[in-house]
Structure 1
Amino acid sequence: MAMNGGEQTWGQGGEGAPAHPGTDELRAGFQGQPNPALAKERAQQARWARVARMVPAVLVALMCVSGVASRLKSVADTGGWTIAYGVGLGCAGLGVELARRGRTRWSYLATMLGAMAMATGKILP
């Protein structure tokens, strides 16, 4: 690749411009990549990170469902707590899905929002 007046152009070999890389150069570059075991280890770490974010989100969702079930049995009127528990359940469910897709930071945020909504539902009449 050569610089021609600020533009990058591919050369044809001559005049100092390098040609497209050949098969041997590409093979040498590929073989120079890091150890495949390292890539496998990183994939395992990413899988565990997803599971580690999924478990709390599932627990928060189950606590929201059990809270709604227990309060519906004991109280005849529904109030703001129903909405708070519903929001908590929705956020926790979103946290599970985000963790499954590998968006662990967003999953953590959604799970914490779900837990806060559940805690708000506990203090509402």
Structure 2
Amino acid sequence: MTTHGGDAVNGPVEPEGPGGRPLFFETSTDELRTKLQGQGRPELAEQRRREMRRTRAMYAALAGLVAVVCLVMMGVRLGQGDALGVWVATYGVGVALGGWGFVLARMGHTRWAMMVTCIAGALAGIGDSPAFR
């Protein structure tokens, strides 16, 4: 087999590093080990844990707020003497979904918690609409 310059080669050519050694053997196993251990920087993992904890707390607070608002609105409307109707069911389901969103957020399922909380908020808006007065 010949190369581009016409020189004969008997085997595969490996790129060479300084001193004529192949690049593959340029670093020792100790150097590789220290590089590998340096990749898992503990401060980044701790920062990510803190951020996830804050996210769960924020979603749990939002879901709890939606549930409390649904309860308060139900109490206000019942206190005003409104007749029972569909609005009670929408507020009741809003309270239940807000509570479930709180539980999901505390368990770490933040996407599901946000979805359930949004549905609870939408039901609270529907229950407060003039169509149900």
| Residue 102 (structure 1) aligned with residue 117 (structure 2) | no
Return the match for 1:31 from 20, 24, 37: 37
C-alpha deviation, 1:77, in angstroms: 2.2
Return the match for 2:53 from 42, 47, 65: 47
Give the 3-state SS of the residue equivalent to 2:46 in structure 1.
Answer: helix
**Residues of 2 paired with 1:99 and 1:41: CA distance?**
19
Give the 3-state SS of the residue equivalent to 1:49 in structure 2.
Answer: helix
**Residues of 2 paired with 1:33 and 1:100: CA distance?**
30
Regions of 4+ moved over 3 Å: 28-33
Structure-2 residue corresponding to 1:113: 119
C-alpha deviation, 1:76, in angstroms: 5.0
Taking only the aligned residue pairs, the percentage that are identical comes to 34
* Runs (5+) with no aligned partner, structure 2: 1-32
Structure-2 residue corresponding to 1:93: 99
Larger Rg: 2
Which letter does structure 2 place at the counterpart of 1:37? Answer: E
Instruction: Give the alignment of 1:12-91 within 5 angstroms.
Output: 28=33, 31=37, 33-91=39-97
Q: Which has the higher strand share?
A: 1
RMSD (CA atoms): 2.0
Which letter does structure 2 place at the counterpart of 1:86? Answer: G
* Runs (5+) with no aligned partner, structure 1: 1-27
TM-score by length of 1: 0.73
Give deviations 1:22-70, integer Å, cap 9, x for gaps.
Answer: xxxxxx5983551111111110010011012112111111110101111
